[in-house]
């Protein structure tokens, strides 16, 4: 719910009205964000939520907009850059995922493991700012960090948000997302990756 505000807040501060088209997979979250803004006193009509999938987004892009602030895939970003090549007055702010390294070099291995777990898994890894790669020193120090991380990660309680109050993270957002994650995992194994947890 907080990620859209990274685009909404600057646009509002610059004096703009905002049309917020969330992912079609998170419509309720977007409605709650809009209600929170209204409750905070944002005038009616300054922030409008438009629900829908790709076709809705395409229809919005075809209108006379002043800017597009987008968080999503690099593939979508390429499409937007091409679509707006002849519309240079339109501001494009494209946040296109990440492959963020986290460097854990020295210190308390257990403390580092806690930070690493929060960075990588707090939203089941479904956030562009989460750690995707871990860089540790070769040798005993790096082994201690990896061992501590494996121990913490192996105990994380996973549950749906409404199943149990002590779940650390929930499932992936959809079966399609799970299929993509399984395929990526299988691809890493084919290239020689060694799993640390079963």
Structure tokens at 112: 């580092």
* Beta strand extents in the chain (DSSP E only): 18-20, 47-49, 67-71, 91-95, 100-103, 131-135
> Annotated catalytic, 95?
yes
Closest CA to 110 of 144, 59, 76, 86: 144
128 is catalytic: yes
- For residue 40, how far is the Cα from the chain centroid? 25
- Choice among 110, 128, 130, 141 that is catalytic: 128
The upper half-sphere exposure of residue 71, i.e. CA atoms within 13 Å in the direction of its Cβ, equals: 17
Q: Which of 95, 110, 130, 141 is catalytic?
A: 95
Active site residues: 95, 128
């Amino acid at each position: 719910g907080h990620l859209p505000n990274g685009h909404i807040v600057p646009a509002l501060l610059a004096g703009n009205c905002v049309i917020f088209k969330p992912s079609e997979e998170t419509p309720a979250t977007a409605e709650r964000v809009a209600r929170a803004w209204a409750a905070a006193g944002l005038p009616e009509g300054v922030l409008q939520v438009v629900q829908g999938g790709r076709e809705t987004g395409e229809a919005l892009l075809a209108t006379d907009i002043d800017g597009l602030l987008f968080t999503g895939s690099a593939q979508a970003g390429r499409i937007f850059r091409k679509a707006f090549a002849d519309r240079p007055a339109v501001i494009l702010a494209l946040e296109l995922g990440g492959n963020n390294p986290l460097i854990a070099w020295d210190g308390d291995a257990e403390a580092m493991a806690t930070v690493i777990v929060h960075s990588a898994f707090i939203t089941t890894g479904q956030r562009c700012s989460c750690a995707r790669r871990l860089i540790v020193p070769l040798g005993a120090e790096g082994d201690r960090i990896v061992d501590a991380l494996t121990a913490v990660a192996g105990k994380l309680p996973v549950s749906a948000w409404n199943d149990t109050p002590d779940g650390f993270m929930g499932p992936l957002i959809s079966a399609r997302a799970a299929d993509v994650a399984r395929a990526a995992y299988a691809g890493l194994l084919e290239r020689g990756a060694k799993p640390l947890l079963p």
